[in-house]
Structure 1
Amino acid sequence: MKNVQTFFTEKAILVGVHLHDQENFQYSMEELANLAVAGDMKVVGSITQKMNQINPSHFVGSGKMEEIKGLLQLHQASLVIFNDELSPTQIRNLESDLACKVIDRTMLILDIFAKRAKTREAQLQVEVARLQYMLPRLINTGESLGRQSGGVGTKNRGAGETSLELNRRKIESKIVKLNKELELLVARRHTQRKRRKKNEIPVVSLVGYTNAGKSTIMNGMVEMYGQHPSKQVFEKDMLFATLETSVRHIHLPDKKSFLMTDTVGFVSKLPHHLVKAFRSTLEEVADADLLIHVVDYANAEHNQQISVTNEILKELNMNHVPVVYAYNKTDLTDRPIPSVDENSVYLSAKQQIGLDELSQIIREHLFADYIQCDMLIPFDSGSQLSYLNEHGHVLSTSYEPEGTKISIECSKAVYERCKEFLIS
């Protein structure tokens, strides 16, 4: 599915501080530029500074402040984006001295999520994360101070509230209200997951860095197994194209099937509030029988992206689920495709090369405990024969005087339910 052309809304200057112990700094700045583009902003300049520690008042030194002012004027930019989280004091000082809007990486990611969220659950999750981020960053102004009561010792001391206190209470109240609504949606999702488990359908979850190609793999699998085009999920070559969790039922030719879920992608320095808010969505991953860790193999920093994804999975207590690595976009490298190396598949989802191999590895993991056996179903147990035909792969059928004899491959659960008909 294609999206409409992007129109840039603001010109932005990027600012990054390279601390002595910070790894992958240059890649982090490139990623910040990509995030800005994903937020419909045009990057017109970038400034970096090496420091042993940040400036507590302005994050950067006074010399860099002058450089930023010069770039703002040169490009007529109206926005400065810092690569690290800023304190309320730093934001206030920077906006005052630069006379423009200043945001940090966290605010940028929250803004992208807010623009992209389509379902009510995603919108609630983003809004809760945004409010939780805002709460400690409320800044008192001269106007709000004017609402305070009189000086020390006056009779009405404490009777008046500052606008800061009022705003804080309003935000806290809104967070509680949104969380209650979110809990209802989370409970509904939990009920859906319980129903899937009851139906004994295995679940495969696509995880990985944003823009690695998870949605493209999902659509490739949907198309490969003959589902209607309406079942395809949104995909685009951009960061955080997918925020909602999509679930598709993949029906294999031999009566086997599984559910495939496409989840929100990860990124370095993913805001803690956002991870916390999306925890309920990411529980889809925790309940999976298998994870497909999708990697953009053509990206020079793909090993760093793997580390970031693994760290987030660990933080979410999801590092216990078996993992298969799908090295996507390998067609953009010198490595031949398709190729398989134990639990790793090198493929190109866009070219639909290697999806058969990925499907085979999924089969080996999900259906390893399948049992092949012979059963004899009496003629008066037609409902059991229908059940076996629906939930197992019948290899052959013959008719005996006592009933219908079938050779079948089925899951352990189906086998246990019908083992009374087993032919020893």
Structure 2
Amino acid sequence: MSLAQELAQELIDLILDFLYDDIDSLLSSSLVARKWVPAARYHLFQRIVLNHWHCAPGSGYSFQGSAYRFLNICTLPECTILSSMQEVVLNIDNEHESDSEAESGWLVPGLLEELIRVIATAPLAKLVYIDHTKSWNDPIALTWIAPRFPRLRQFTYNALDRFLSDALALVASFPELEVLSLYSTTLEDNFEEAIMPPKPYPLTPPNTLSSLKTLRLQLFSHQPEEFMAWLLTFGDRIRLEILNLDLVHYYHNGWGRVDALNAYFNLNGAHLRNFGLRLHYEENSELDVETFLSRESDGDCMTSLLLLSPFLILFAVDLICTALSSLPLPSSTEPPNHLHSLEVSFREWIHYYQVQCPCDPVVLVQDFADAMSSEQFSRLAEFTILVPVFFGENGAKALRAYFPRWEETDIMRVGFIEERRFPADSWERLKDELSGER
């Protein structure tokens, strides 16, 4: 290699060393665009995925295993991965074993522990954990892993069936946690399974979760409300800036109780910049009018809100209209506290024709339009409405007429819902990647 080539490679290595913990800068740099990065440094630009799982029979997926190969690599003296590894996805099913991989020396029951021991030596900032525990087994406990990752800033937990038994103790054990995501994909028979331990809540250090800025929950029924009630026990120490709630209900019964959510808004809502709400129903064939809930959300405490993204179904529209109407009026303060962006997704209005439901889409659209005509939304820079595809172009155009303030502007956009959108790092978003389908 010539002196010029050696100098160029040395400069590249120095730049990579400087930017290795700033993934956005790395991915946008010309070094990546021109593929000047040595193969040994590729792990800087992508997360490490550790697989050991079998998909259900008939799913079309096969066994995926990278965990043992990873452990073998890490035992080599030439290994350079661990010193700069930032993000790991742990997708380990301890109940299944590949005969060929078992020969490597680590038995499956101890595989997770060995992986945790090894990756704990890396400066890990983000950990995504996929829990494969089956419904007929006892839920696992994971608090033991927290002391291994004292600098962890982002933690995502996905429960495919059984939710872990120590959720509160676990998340409270990460001292520098900034982003927390808890997702449950349990459906039907297990949807009522509580993730919250019986009171009293576990004891926590004084500064627990004081760095937490982003919280994303995809949980069932009463569980998000219970989690928010637990957060209230920390007083004003937890000042979320981003809160996304993906609520799943078994019946068509609105978003459930919001007492704890209201209390949190009253206590710390002034710090919230982004609040997203999604509602999903797992059972649409039965409808019990007596289960309808009419609790209102107090939005007047969210004085710093810049982005509000409710994803609503049917009659829940009238509930969000009340919340929208209670948002604060725009002010001239610095920084400004008016709402900047609003996105609303009206899903599954087809159910209006399938079940006996008091929801009249025409009335609900007019109610929503009336709420949006208030002064709270006069300074919107982005206003997006997503509707089912069967609305068609003519239906989307007709919908714009309900909002004369933005009808002829680029601020308003009416788009179509192609498919259900899932939270970042959720199982639904990850499973194709983990199974090798893409």
- TM class by shorter-chain length? under 0.3
Q: Which has the higher helix share?
A: 1
Q: How does the TM-score come out when normalised to structure 1?
A: 0.26
Higher-Rg structure is 1
- Whose RCO is larger (CA < 8 A, sep 6+)? 1
